[in-house]
């Protein structure tokens, strides 16, 4: 059972543009929603995370938008740079327990 | 150390061989997780330790998979009689633990296991 669905599978954005990746979840008990960034040969690195009591969280160029009623959340990368080219994973967990990951989005920023 | 260290980085095993993968978490981190990441997929949960106690092993795919953390620090994931479907990157992650209100993990770079 795929509890977290992520789209798109791949995304190409021009330098300076906005990258948007979407996720939907099923389990209403989830209360922690992080985004991870992964470069080839490396483990995932925590980028930004949100709890369901807020609708938006911003850290630098990265913003999470959260819609509890729709059970959806998204990552927005403003002013996308070639260095942002990586695979991005959304995830969800109940408390500090195991994370359930989405399938990943391969983001390419063209210079 | 500064991060989560995993060894070996790469392992090639013949089908049927036993393997042991090591994880050195960040010093003082209470929680330790193992994940399996197939090529082009997101990580999938295998097992979770809080100190030396294995609190959740629901993700272990078969009884050929075994994990331990005897002293609440270093952990070993052992796979017996490896099969081709075991080929994946095995990721270890650690965190301060929920009691500290820290939900974020730090992942290691993983061990890439190839079964031939």
pLDDT per position as a tens digit, A22-31: 999 999 999 9
pLDDT per position as a tens digit, B30-85: 999 999 999 999 999 999 999 999 999 999 999 999 999 999 999 999 999 999 99
DSSP label at residue A84:
G
DSSP label at residue A79:
S
Q: What is the mean pLDDT of chain A?
A: 94
- Under the banding of pLDDT at 50, 70 and 90, the label for residue A35 is very high
Strands (E), chain B: 5-7, 10-13, 19-24, 31-37, 44-50, 53-56, 65-68, 75-79, 88-95, 106-107, 111-115
pLDDT per position as a tens digit, A44-64: 999 999 998 999 999 999 999
Q: Which residue of B has its CA nearest to A35?
A: B104
pLDDT at A96 over 80: no
CB B35 within 8 A of CB B96: no
**Per the CB < 8 Å rule, is B103 touching A45?**
no
Q: Which residue of B has its CA nearest to A101?
A: B42
Between the CA of residue A20 and those of A60, A75, B13, B44, what are the distances in Å?
15, 6, 40, 24
**Per the CB < 8 Å rule, is B107 touching A97?**
no
CB B7 within 8 A of CB B75: no
In chain B, the percentage of residues whose pLDDT exceeds 90 is 88
A99 chain-B contacts, CB cut-off 8 A:
33, 43, 45, 105
Assess A40–B contact: CB distance below 8 Å, yes or no: no
- The token pair that represents A101 in the structure block: 């990951």
pLDDT at residue number B1: 55
pLDDT at A97 over 60: yes
Assess A64–B contact: CB distance below 8 Å, yes or no: no
Task: Give the whole-angstrom CA distance, residue B61 versus residue B107.
Answer: 21
| Residue among A36, A43, A99 minimizing CB distance to B108 | A43
**Per the CB < 8 Å rule, is A99 touching B45?**
yes
**Per the CB < 8 Å rule, is A43 touching B93?**
yes
pLDDT at residue number B102: 52
- Under the banding of pLDDT at 50, 70 and 90, the label for residue B96 is confident
Assess A41–B contact: CB distance below 8 Å, yes or no: yes
Name which of B34, B46, B105 to mutate to probe chain A: the one with the most chain A Cβ atoms within 10 A of its Cβ: B105
| Residue among A43, A46, A100 minimizing CB distance to B104 | A46
């Amino acid at each position: 059972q795929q509890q977290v669905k992520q789209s798109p599978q791949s995304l190409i954005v021009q330098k300076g543009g906005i990258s948007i990746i979407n996720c939907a979840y099923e389990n209403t008990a989830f209360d922690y929603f992080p985004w991870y960034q992964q470069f080839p040969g490396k483990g995932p690195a925590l980028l930004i995370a949100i709890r369901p009591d807020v609708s938006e969280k911003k850290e630098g160029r990265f913003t999470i938008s959260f819609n509890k009623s729709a059970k959806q959340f998204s990552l927005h990368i403003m002013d996308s740079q070639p260095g942002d080219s990586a695979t991005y994973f959304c995830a969800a967990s109940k408390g500090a327990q195991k994370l359930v990951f989405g399938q990943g989005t391969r983001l390419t920023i063209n210079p | 150390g500064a991060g989560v260290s995993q060894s070996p980085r790469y392992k090639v095993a013949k089908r049927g061989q036993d393997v042991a993968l090591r994880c050195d978490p960040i010093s003082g981190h209470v929680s330790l997780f193992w994940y399996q990441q197939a090529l082009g997929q997101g990580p999938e949960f295998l097992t979770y330790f809080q100190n030396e106690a294995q609190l959740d092993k629901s993700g272990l795919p078969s009884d050929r998979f075994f994990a331990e953390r005897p002293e609440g620090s270093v952990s070993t994931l052992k796979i017996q009689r490896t099969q081709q479907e075991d080929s994946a990157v095995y990721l270890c992650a650690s965190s301060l633990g929920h009691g500290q209100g820290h939900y974020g993990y730090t992942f290691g770079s993983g061990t890439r296991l190839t079964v031939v």
